[in-house]
Amino acid sequence: MGAHVGRTITLYWGDDSPQEAVAGVREKGATFAGEPVDITNDDSNGWQELLDVAQTNSVELSCSGVLLNDTLRADWFNGAGAIGHRMQAATFEYPVETGDITAATITGTFYLKEYSETGNHDGEVTFEATFASNGAVTYTAGT
């Protein structure tokens, strides 16, 4: 895999097909975590020992940018206190490299965990959002 320009990574949100890209994104990120199982005991001589299998795997997607529509704000409020729009399909798509037919993707069901907006008197309104995985997440390498 070669180097990429960050602006070519796209975050899609929603259960509609085809999914729409989150509007106005400037920055995006993906965090992959695996909670270890601690099996330290008296025979460990004071050293922590971990099982070679994660207890819980998770993926967190984040984005921030210029507010161009109210989709994420509406989904946060529509999901507040009820099963609603906070849990939807999300796709994190890496750019297609020269010669590739399809882009690499991370896909799954995600929960809109955090959403915030900021507006300065002399600038644009910006937003930040964090999505937490719910269930298995799939990585598909570009082909």
Q: Which pLDDT belongs to residue 25?
A: 92
Question: What is the value of pTM for the model shown?
Answer: 0.83
Long-range contacts of 68-75 (CB under 8 A, 24+ apart): 68/23, 68/24, 69/23, 69/24, 71/13, 71/14, 71/20, 71/22, 71/23, 72/13, 72/22, 72/112, 72/115, 72/127, 72/129, 73/115, 73/117, 73/127, 75/13, 75/112
* pLDDT of 126 over the 90 cut: yes
* pLDDT of 98 over the 70 cut: no
* pLDDT of 6 over the 60 cut: yes
53 vs 60 pLDDT, higher one:
60
Reported confidence tier of residue 30, pLDDT bands at 50, 70, 90? very high
Domains recognised in the chain with CATH numbers: 6-140 (2.30.110)
